[in-house]
Amino acid sequence: MHNKISIASVALFLSSASFATISNQLAADSYTFTEGGKTYSAMDVYVVCGAQTDIISSVFGTSIYNSRFSASKDFVHTGGSTWAPTNNDGSQADSFVTAGARTQGSDTTLAGGKAGFLNMQGDTGFANFSTAGAATISNANSLGAGWYPAVGASTSSNPYARVGYSNNGALAKAATTIAGNNLAAGASLDNKWMIGHFVIEATSAAETFSLKFAIAGKNNGATTVTGATNAAYRYDSTFTFASVPAPGAAALIGLAGAVSARRRKA
């Protein structure tokens, strides 16, 4: 008995394998957590890609498309850390920028599984990239407020993205559904290229984060693309941080739960 593979099936395979592309869409997964007695809201921002072979090597602004990264509250850093993804204190409440790798740390070996091996650098206009505890990304609305890994994107594979590419597991899922963030709770985070982990102190208000930038990289690890000359690789989105209930609302929720429990007992 011979196995038959249709021409259509082969064509579909070749199409999906050969023409993977970086999309013009961003996605954000925001969630709250408590650390050291404080409640924080984190936002992981991703560029949506078509396959693991896509590469993003740089986030930047250009003279015709100025970049912007601004939140309505200060970004949080811990342990005197900077925007570089090299903090080793294990805190989730530490903001950092990246180019694929989702786990930060100063280990500079690829096998170490930490983003430190990226040797992340800030563009010249990202004036506070190396400033401990920087509450903003300086020079918002400028062509230089970007970042990139020094290793570049010359390879047909993406080693710097493969480190933590799926949050250390192929089953990484989005935590929440927030309107406008382009992700639903439980959605796969595979083929999402992380560009930053941004943290603020959580509030009951709908705090937002505005991002405008261009990227450079390689579609399917082969074809060089850049937002400097191609508008398809420029992004402009505003996302919403996960919030916590207002104190009064939390009390009402607790009261409603107590009333419900009494009714069940009755």
Sequence spans of domains, the chain: 18-258
Q: What is the pLDDT of residue 201?
A: 97
Which region among 42-51, 67-76, 89-98, 136-145 has the lowest average model confidence (pLDDT)? 136-145
Confidence of residue 207 (pLDDT cuts 50, 70, 90): very high
For residue 204, which amino acid is it? S
110 SS3 class: helix
Residue 119: strand, helix, or coil: coil
25 Cβ contact partners less than 8 Å away, ≥ 6 residues apart = 47, 48, 182
pTM for this model (two decimals): 0.84
pLDDT (tens digit per residue) in 11-42: 433 344 445 799 999 999 999 999 999 999 99
Neighbouring C-alpha atoms within 13 Å toward the C-beta of 10: 4
Report d(CA 216, CA 165) in Å as an integer: 18
- At 208-235, the pLDDT tens digits run 999 999 999 988 888 999 999 999 999 9
Q: What's the rounded Cα separation, in Å, for the pair 257 and 251?
A: 10
pLDDT score, position 151:
65
